[in-house]
Structure 1
Amino acid sequence: MKQGDHKTGHSQRNRFMKAKEIQELIDFISNSGLAEVKIETDEFKLSIKKNSEAPAAKPSENITPQYTQAPTQVAPPAPTEASPAAQNLLEVKSPMIGTFYRSPNPDAEFFVNVGDSIQKGQPVCIIEAMKLFNEVESEVSGKIVKILVDDASPVEYDQPLFLVEPQN
């Protein structure tokens, strides 16, 4: 009977971190206030660095989004009127850290534009995190009043992405 066989089977099962575990780790680090974290094991290297002036992380491997898009002109914000409705705007926030994309691919139309009416559960953008593209659905219904993030920009967990005027 070999004593190492049982141990090898166990380590094989826990060899790689699951995407959910990685996302939880990123969320934890984001909320901890740490500026930089490096984790290195036999199986992988993970380097996470927060820097508000240069938001692009420098991972140990060259990880780039699967598509790039030329910067797009963002429409100037609509003039705001001093009305009670302006104070009742809802936010659609980022559920994770990643890169914000307004369209499913570079050649496609944007999911939503200023002035569009949206329904709860409707896809409004994509957040790319570690080569995984996550469709973000609105948690509110209403009209898009302002898009707060430029296309292909890095976003933080819980960062407001859109301002929505609720429907009556």
Structure 2
Amino acid sequence: MTPKELKQILQALVEHGVSELTLETPDYKLTVRRGGEVQVVAVPQVVAAPASQVQVAPAPVPAPAAEATPPTPPPQEAPRGGEKAEECPGCVEVKAPIVGTFYRAPAPDAPPYVKEGDRVEKGQVLCIIEAMKLMNEIESEISGIVKKILVQNGEPVEYGQPLFLIQPL
């Protein structure tokens, strides 16, 4: 399964409110439960590899600190998008297409893909989001100037969370 196919499956789960999905092929069996665990079973070895808890969609957090913040809008509107877009009128938000961990560079000792102020072209890699041990390259949807990077390296990101503000050329 390619990272792109996995990304499409995860997006479909979120968009359609599916709570559980099992996919079997001759090579593997994949079961995804929202808010639960993910198991991948390789065939013919039949070895279960439980992964750490993977959340496909943002889950409510019952911590008192979360209650002190204003209520979050529906998933169609990014939780922090409105505030950040106001910082850069006319800028386009690049949002996280999946849940995972944000990385600015392909390796810890490598330079970042982009920095604030860099010019980017449509299709250029901006960052990587690691999801379920797969590295997913996130590409720019437009050509422009990177005005703001909204996420710190190594920080977890949610589906639909703004990552970059890009001013179109």
Q: CA offset at residue 58 of structure 1?
A: 5.5
Q: CA offset at residue 122 of structure 1?
A: 1.4
Structure 2 equivalent of residue 107 of structure 1: 109
Larger radius of gyration: 1
What whole-Å deviation, never above 9, does each CA across 1:23-42 have from its counterpart, x for those lacking one? 333212323457xx455789
Q: CA offset at residue 59 of structure 1?
A: 4.5
Q: What secondary structure does 2:88 align onto?
A: helix
- Give the superposed CA RMSD: 3.2
C-alpha distance in structure 1 between counterparts of 2:23 and 2:89, whole Å: 49
Percent of aligned positions that are identical: 42
What whole-Å deviation, never above 9, does each CA across 1:120-157 have from its counterpart, x for those lacking one? 22111011122111211111112111111222222233
1:135 aligns with 2:137: yes
What whole-Å deviation, never above 9, does each CA across 1:100-129 have from its counterpart, x for those lacking one? 111101111111111112122211101112
Q: What is the TM-score when the length of structure 2 is the normalising length?
A: 0.57
Runs (5+) with no aligned partner, structure 1: 1-17, 50-56, 65-81
C-alpha distance in structure 2 between counterparts of 1:133 and 1:87, whole Å: 31
CA gap 1:109/1:44 in 2 versus in 1, 3 angstroms: same
More strand by share: 2
CA gap 1:128/1:41 in 2 versus in 1, 3 angstroms: closer
Structure 1 equivalent of residue 11 of structure 2: 27
Name segments (4+ residues, structure 1) moved above 6 Å. none
C-alpha distance in structure 2 between counterparts of 1:45 and 1:105, whole Å: 29
Q: Say how many residue pairs are matched.
A: 123
CA gap 1:123/1:47 in 2 versus in 1, 3 angstroms: same
More off after superposition, 127-136 vs 100-109? 127-136
Q: What secondary structure does 1:30 align onto?
A: helix
Structure 1 equivalent of residue 118 of structure 2: 116
Structure 2 equivalent of residue 54 of structure 1: none
Q: What secondary structure does 2:117 align onto?
A: coil
CA contact (8 A) 1:27 1:97 kept: no
